[in-house]
Amino acid sequence: MFGDILVLMLSAVLIENFIFSRFLGCCPFLGVSEKPDTALGMGCAVIFVMTLASAACNLVYNFILVPFNLEYLYTIAFILVIAALVQFIEMFLRKAVPSLYNALGIYLPLITTNCAVLGAVILNMQKYSDMARGQSFIFSVLFGFFAAVGFTLAIVIFAGVRARVEYADPPKCFKGMPIALVTAGLIAMAFSGFSGATIG
Amino acid sequence: MKKLNLKEQFLDGILYKNPVFVQLLGLCSMLAITTSISNAIGMGAAATAVLICSNLLISLLRKFIPKQVRIAAYVVIISGFVTAVELLIKAYLPSLDRSLGVFIPLIVVNCMILARAEAFASKNGPVASVIDGLAQGVGYTIALLVISAVREILGAGTIAGIPLFGENFKPMIIAILPPGGFIILGCLIALVNKLIHTIEAKQKGEKG
């Protein structure tokens, strides 16, 4: 069990990094990565939401969709759960933990349309739905958490590099997004060094 | 009511406001599935179908949807159409379903579709919205085709599965791996920027 969790952690964070090998969550990755601070804020918000969304969607799938034979409606069900969850977290944080709300608040609404969250939930469903309910719940939550950690790692590294690229002087048509994409490609190349690794 | 301008809408969708190259929307699914031309055609067609249907319905309902919950309403409408498209693909094109995988349900969170709903369909009539959906969808598909053609030629030495070069050709595998996707997209966006700048400079020159 412990070994399984270690393997899951390494593969979710490094080997199958959400951004660099699965291309999930590229929009916020390119949109909110101009400064390392905001990138870290976005990363924390994603960790928070993705872990809770994995738990909630696993429960919805196993206890609502499967008993009623409605598995084919999973896309609608999951996106509604995520949207409601994000709204709920926002309201809860504003009342209960205002300091955290001030730090994460502006990123929360953006997360509803972050394909990393929906992607993680759907991958969880595909990978773990054959397991026993308790086990699939634990693995889904862990996968959600570690995948989000991988996302945060990627976005913070990228923001650090990008802050330096700002001062470089690329050809005019490369200014802004194109040079950022090329930079992302080079970082992805570094990450692909992990991709041959098999553990276990 | 604004007069419909077909030519302008299509030119916008394909070049000046191309969803991928200019607006930088829907990058996630695009980078992931443009490893071959057949994938690109399938994904482009699926996204275009969803975009046209959701634009039509949202524009018909635009007077009934309250402003405060509009995003949630759009997401529900879009995910309904995506589920329909997903079931159709599963039933009739199982091989496409296998190669696109998780990215078909992820059309729901493709920012392009939500952006068109918010920016266009919620403010314009049904006919204009359908045309806008078609133009943007065609622009998206063309962008996917261009990127996947470059990646397939470099990375596999084939175009739509047909070998282009002799047997001695060694493909650049990097082009179909994730790093190549980012780098090639960056270079293509730079190229489109250059193209738009040149056209604009020419038009200015003609006028002045």
Q: What is the mean pLDDT of residues A135-149?
A: 91
What 3-state DSSP class applies to B159?
Answer: strand
Q: According to the model, what pLDDT value does residue B91 have?
A: 92
**Which one of B78, B79, B173 would you mutate to disrupt binding with A, by most A Cβ within 10 Å of its Cβ?**
B79
The mean pLDDT of chain B is: 84
Average pLDDT score, chain A = 84
Confidence category of residue B80, pLDDT binned at 50, 70, 90: very high
pLDDT of B199 above 60: yes
Measured between beta carbons, which residues in chain A are less than 8 angstroms from residue B47? none
pLDDT at A101 over 60: yes
3-state secondary structure of B58: helix
Please, which pLDDT band fits residue B3 given cuts at 50, 70 and 90?
low
Closest CA to B142 of B19, B36, B7, B8: B19
In angstroms, the separation between the Cα of residue B70 and the nearest Cα of chain A is 13
Q: Which of B28, B83, B191 is facing A26, going by the closest CB pair?
A: B28
Predicted local confidence at residue A168, as pLDDT: 82
- The closest CB to that of B80, out of A21, A76, A177, belongs to A76
Which among A115, A174, A184 has the least Cβ separation from residue B109?
Answer: A115
The whole-number average pLDDT for the span B82-102 is: 89
- Band (B34; pLDDT cuts 50, 70, 90): confident
Subunit contact A178:B190, Cβ cutoff 8 A: yes
Band the pLDDT of B4: cuts 50, 70, 90. low
Q: Least CA distance to B76: which residue of chain A? A: A76
Cβ separation B83–A76 shorter than 8 A: yes
Best CA proximity match to A30, nearest among A108, A117, A110: A110
- The number of angstroms, rounded, from the C-alpha of B187 to the middle of its chain's C-alpha atoms is 18
Which pLDDT value is given to residue A199? 55
For an interface test with B, which of A27, A73, A81, A115 has the most B Cβ atoms less than 10 Å from its Cβ? Answer: A115
Helix, coil or strand: residue A166: coil
Q: A118 and B109 in contact by Cβ < 8 A?
A: yes
Q: Is there a contact between B72 and A83 if contact means CB atoms under 8 Å apart?
A: yes
Return the pLDDT at B100. Answer: 85
- pLDDT bracket for residue A198 (50, 70, 90): low
The residue with greater pLDDT, A88 or B4, is A88
* Shortest CA distance from B104: residue in chain A: A75
The CA-atom distances, in angstroms, between A53 and each of A57, A93, B31, B107 are 6, 16, 25, 19
pLDDT of B194 over the 80 cut: yes
Domain spans, chain B = 10-207
For A158-167, the pLDDT digits (tens) are 999 988 888 8
Q: Residue with structure tokens 């309910």?
A: A133
Other beta carbons within 10 angstroms of residue B31's beta carbon come to 26
The ipTM, to two decimals, is 0.81
The answer to whether B178 contacts A21, with C-beta atoms less than 8 Å apart, is: yes
Provide the pLDDT confidence category of residue B68 given band limits of 50, 70 and 90: confident
